[in-house]
């Protein structure tokens, strides 16, 4: 049996570009969990009264990259910077998720949400939510 090609998520980074050319990428705090965006395609109902065999017909529609939630340890300076970004006029920024080994998923996204939670005896955690706009691209290293 061949060895697995699976990798663990340790070392995964969520980064934002400064917008310069070439870009400088900065990591979002200490990420404790995130999901790559779910990629879907809309389905458009094209059913009509004379559909063959009374079967509904559908068309494929626009593709979507779903919202991304990035959980991280709370840093005052990071939270302050994200809060400033969220309260300013919405800015579409280049972002990327860098996996262990260097493979990364790049996309443009708006910051659309920010929350933090504190519990006695536990660390303060934060969650930043991003909404991609346009097509993501995967660069395999």
**SS3 readout for 18-68:** CCCCCCCEEECCCEEEECCCCEEEEEEECCCCCCHHHCCCEEEEEEEECCE
Tell me the C-alpha distance between 78 and 99, whole Å: 21
Tell me the C-alpha distance between 112 and 3, whole Å: 41
pLDDT band at 68 (very low <50, low <70, confident <90, very high): very high
Considering only the top CATH level, what class is 13-139?
few secondary structures
CB 61 within 8 A of CB 41: yes
pLDDT at position 89 over 90: no
What is the C-alpha R_g of the chain?
A: 20
Tell me the C-alpha distance between 51 and 40, whole Å: 26
Summarize the confidence of residues 11-39 as an average pLDDT: 94
Left, alpha or beta for 87 (phi > 0: left; psi -120 to 50: alpha)?
A: alpha
Q: What pLDDT, in 10s, does the model give residues 45-60? A: 999 999 899 999 999 9
Whether this prediction's pTM lies above 0.85 is answered by: yes
pLDDT at position 90 over 80: no
- pLDDT of res. 132: 97
CB 95 within 8 A of CB 137: no
């Amino acid at each position: 049996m061949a060895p697995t090609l699976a990798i663990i998520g340790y070392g995964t980074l969520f980064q934002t570009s400064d917008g310069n050319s070439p870009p400088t990428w900065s990591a979002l705090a200490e990420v404790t969990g995130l999901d790559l965006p779910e990629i879907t395609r809309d389905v458009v109902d094209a059913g009509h009264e004379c559909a063959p065999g009374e079967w509904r017909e559908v068309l494929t529609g626009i593709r979507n990259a779903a919202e991304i939630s990035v959980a991280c340890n709370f840093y005052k300076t990071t939270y302050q910077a994200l809060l400033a970004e969220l309260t300013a006029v919405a800015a579409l920024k280049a972002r990327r998720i860098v996996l262990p080994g260097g493979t990364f998923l790049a996309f443009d996204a708006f910051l659309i949400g920010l929350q933090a939670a504190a519990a006695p005896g536990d660390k303060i955690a934060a969650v930043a939510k991003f909404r991609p706009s346009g097509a993501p691209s995967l660069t395999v290293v």
